Amino acid sequence: MTHPASDLATRRHLLALAAGWPLLGYANAPAPMPSPAAAPPAAAPPAAAALPAGSHVLGFAAPGLGATPDDIRVHAHRPARWQPDDPVAVVLHGTNRDADRYLRNWVEPAEDAGILVLVPEFTQAKFPKRSFYNFGNVVDEEMRLRPREQWSFRVVDDAFAAARTAFGARRERFALYGHSAGAQFVHRYLLMAEASRAELIISANAGSYTLPNRDGNFPWGLANAAVTADDLKRAFARPVVLLLGENDNDPMHASLPSDPEAKAQGPHRLARGQNFHATARSVAAELGVPLRWRVQTVPGVGHSDRGMAPVAMQLVRRGVVA
């Protein structure tokens, strides 16, 4: 069920007031009504105030993240049979920053699985160029390290927190999926965001990787990153699926990263994903720890989120771990 824009704006406004969030300046948000001088304080909203089934756009303030103080929108879909204790999946879009299209790709799988889907929108204005998004703003365009408080990874957990309030979700963890540029963000989040609430991480068809070794500097390796052996052990212990389209093997694909360091990882996305897993397996063996990551290929699918989404949703529903 999709609500008209004006209805959505009213819901956002009421949600912000109820949750104590700052209003984010949506154009259609109604002005607050003046309160009578002697009016008693409003009671806390009941659980029934949670947003109903259907597609919605949420927003939360993030003035300290990205290149502008703009708020961040989260495109969300609540399936008809989803309940507050059911799973939540956070989905990260690709380089076109088309969160609305990604949500549409996930609506049918979400309804089938009964899983709440959230797609944070990393706009070009707030997160310009690949350094802010693909690389998590860990480095700038000259590959110089940025302070940790400027990294973009916390958008994922902040979006989840906002959606828990909006939908009344009681689950404290979420599944995380990213495709293409979103998969670049996701696997770097895996290596760098040790406080993550993600209970399952799916990286689909990334074009380049931060290899979990010290053979190169971030974003290609960890030589200059403050990631310790213990950090890597924790990352290797997380349940991770590298979901790779078997037909995502075009070395001339228009959006395939062509940096020399990326090319060294393999001729195309399928090979680069396999190389990333092989490198992780080798480093885990050197550290003497098991690797809970695994590769799953998808027959007949190339560089397509629409083709990967149903498979990814089945992984989320089953809670697949390596």
Domains and CATH numbers, the chain: 1-49 (no CATH), 56-318 (3.40.50.1820)
pLDDT at 29 over 50: no
- Of 220, 275, 267, nearest to 248 (Cα)? 267
What strands, in cross-sheet order, belong to the sheet with 293-298? 54-60, 72-78, 116-120, 88-92, 174-179, 198-204, 240-245, 293-298
pLDDT at 35 over 80: no
pLDDT of residue 141: 80
pLDDT at 222 over 70: yes
- Render pLDDT for 109-125 as a digit per residue (tens, 0 to 9): 999 999 999 999 999 99
* 3-class DSSP state of 150: helix
> How far is residue 82's CA from residue 210's CA, in Å, rounded to a whole number?
35
pLDDT at 218 over 70: yes
> How far is residue 17's CA from residue 155's CA, in Å, rounded to a whole number?
22
pLDDT of residue 195: 62
Mean pLDDT (whole number) for 263-287: 98
Which whole-number Å values give the CA distances from 53 to 84, 162, 256, 301, in the listed order? 12, 17, 37, 30
Neighbours of 50 (CB within 10 A): 16
- Render pLDDT for 82-118 as a digit per residue (tens, 0 to 9): 999 999 999 999 999 999 999 999 999 999 999 999 9
pLDDT at 33 over 70: no
CA neighbours within 13 Å on the CB side: how many for 250? Answer: 11
pLDDT at 3 over 80: no
- Of 190, 186, 184, 240, nearest to 207 (Cα)? 184
